[in-house]
Structure 1
């Protein structure tokens, strides 16, 4: 097999709105991005546009943000200035090797070198198609599999023998049981939307959308006196489209809980740098958020929560 060549993809086109890399170099063959033409996504007011991977490598760099949520085994990586959606990837250092949770468009020499110094990647797990970015290139560079759910296969614009489209059960062990890492399909945002559970950390991307109230603090009042979090505050929203503000139905939200309730966690780590919530009661806050959303949506199955 030929050695990986970072610059072999320099002329590949990249959508400026979502960051998806296409295996196409001729702009005449790519009038639009199928990811952004889906009702979950959008193109900006300036319209559809593409740049090359060489442009991305010239104009952006990946910045490392250590200790995501206070655990040194989790490191956030994000491109600056903001590139497309602006999501982060999280490097998860497990006992069985490194996992990259979600993916970035930019892969450059600096990023390659730094990750290789930390032991490379043994697996990549991506939450949903909006973050597929240039995952086939990352997988090739590090010689590792990339785990995607089979329900979302239609959204891949590149094919690679390193793609693993897992299906069937809603839980997949990543790198063996000693890694303490589980990919969990919850669905919702996309049929195959997944989260990654590592020890007590739940990496959620925007399968669960962390809200301002979820990040807010009510530990003290303006006078410095202790207080309790007010009732009725949500911490998460559950959306079919995040940018277009289309919520999931009550049935879909309840189906997500039917899977997630079997797993315990004490922190959540959302799609962007700084969107981390550490709270021993965070699982209860997920449940309460689901109940709040379905209540205000007028879900006719609201009584089902009484059986939880």
Structure 2
């Protein structure tokens, strides 16, 4: 569907912009729906044990959704040269998403977000520092007006989750690794009423499908890393494409980093999987355009040389 749909629609820069906009709008609609519900009763839909989950199944799902859309929001902010109301609107939604991400209490989501921002501004240290300072200042102002145990959220508990540094996945990861070692070819035999995955896309694949499923997943991961490297070189070679390439690099890196701690790559038509395919389609479009331009430049050079030889 993605190959015959969005991939076929990518014909010019406006289509690329629309593709990124579609990802950003997922985060925008998510934030609007949760804010609207929160205006009436925040607990009814958006909190579970003091952690924000929005319209998703749990806080981890919410954090992944928010983190994956952040590179697209930054692209929409950076692509507008003028400081108009549209740019301020995108900035406002970015801050709302960052606030909701904090409320999830998810360290995986926070690592995904930080990784994507660092790679987005990898060649602009000054902008990165200003960006981090502004977000930190605004969040500090917001939290200063809220009591630590206000309403449905325990902000002290959330803060402790981010700074505690405890490893809550070691036992699960060790169990999946043992399952893979004991059944390396086809994975652990199915047991129970349904197939379940532990907290890692890669170890869960190894545990449940063995090398038969792990090898294709590794090939996919290497393909993503190869595209990110090619896009980085393209952004260096063509500064006018740096913003576009940085968006895809940030989006892919966020998803790959998050997949180490959560099994969302094994979901069926889940938002992270769809986002991965769309980011890959957008990245392939940028590389294809560069390849076509190279061939056209070479053709022009050959034509020019042929004309000179006949003179």
Shorter-normalised TM range: under 0.3
Greater relative contact order, per chain length (Cα 8 Å cut-off, separation 6+): 2
More strand by share: 1
Between Structure 1 and Structure 2, whose CA radius of gyration is higher? Answer: 2
